[in-house]
Amino acid sequence: MDINLSINGNSHAVQVQEDMPLLWAIRDIVGLTGTKFGCGVSQCGACSVLVDGRLTKSCSVSVLDAVEKEIFTIEGNSENLEFLRQAWTDGNVPQCGYCQSGQLIAATSLLDSIEKPTDKDIDNAMSANICRCGTYTRIKKAIHTAVQLKNQTL
């Protein structure tokens, strides 16, 4: 069927099967490959996106659920994501990098809802995302750094 997806502020007219998960519509139909496939069953967070600001595992929602909503992916830009990117860079966080799109989106969602998260907040928010390379220590630190960077700038 023909639908419209709004991703990072751009509208995409696409043709999809109605039961297709949002992940594959983003990757294979729209062609934005920054959002990753890791498990397909809501276990790893590699496919994380924001749908109308809500953290969503795109492998596990139908593309139809995202119609007429605003989808935000790692290719997008937001204030919090920018600070997080800077902190990820300062902390040299990624190893293979594959999980980091999902990690950054999950962290963006965290900062969107909690201005100054504690370690505990971070553990809760980020434990749905697996990093097989094991960069957790750095991710945690980078989230704190992003908050600091933000406070310095504002």
Partner 1 sequence: MSSIQKIDRRDFVKLFGLASGGIILGCSVASDSKGFIPIESKKGFHPNLFVHLEENGNVTLIASRSEMGQGIRTSLASAIADELEADWQYVSVVQAIGHEKYGNQNTDGSRSVRTRLEPMRKMGATAKIMLITAAAKKWNVAEVACKAENHFVINKNTNEQIFFGDLVADAAKVAIPKEETVQLKKVEDFKFIGKTLKSVDLKDFTHGTATYGIDVRIPNMKFAAIARSPVTFGSVKSFTKNNAEKVAGVEAIFEMPRLIPPTGKFFGMLGGVAVIANNTWAAFQGKLDLDIEWEKGANENFDSEEFKKILTKRVQKTGKLVPGVRGNVNTAFDTAAKTIEATYHVPFLAHAPMEVPNATAWFQGDKIEVWAPVQDPQTARSELAHFFEVPIENITINVPFLGGGFGRKSKSDFVVEAVAISKKIKAPVQVVWTREDDIQHSFYHATSAQYLKGSIDKEGNLSGWLQRVGFPSIVSSFKPLSDYASGFELNQGFTNNPYAIKNFRLESVKAEANLRIGWMRSVVHIHSAFGINSFVDELAFAAQKDPLQFHLDLLGEDRIIEGKSKFPFNSKRFKNVLTTTAKMANWGEKLPEGHGLGIAIHYSFYSYVATVVEVSVIERKVKIENIWTTIDCGLALNKDNITNQLEGAAIFGMSLALFGKISTKEGAIEQNNFFDYEMTRMKDAPKIHIHIVDAMHEPPTGVGEPGVPVIAPAICNAIFNATGERVRSLPLMDLGMV
Nearest to 49 by CA among 132, 136, 108, 113: 108
Q: Which of 65, 79, 115, 123 binds partner 1 (CB under 8 A)?
A: 123
By CB under 8 A, residue 150 contacts partner 1: no
> Helical H runs in the chain?
22-24, 79-90, 100-113, 119-126, 136-153
Cα separations in angstroms, 96 against 92, 129, 145: 12, 15, 21
User: Residue 24 touches which of ligand FES, partner 1, none (CB < 5 to 8 A by kind)?
Assistant: partner 1
By CB under 8 A, residue 57 contacts partner 1: no
CB 35 within 8 A of CB 23: yes
By CB under 6 A, residue 132 contacts ligand FES: yes
Residue 55 or 111: which CB sits closer to ligand FES? Answer: 55
Q: Which of 8, 33, 43, 62 binds ligand FES (CB under 6 A)?
A: 43
User: Residue 7 touches which of partner 1, ligand FES, none (CB < 5 to 8 A by kind)?
Assistant: none
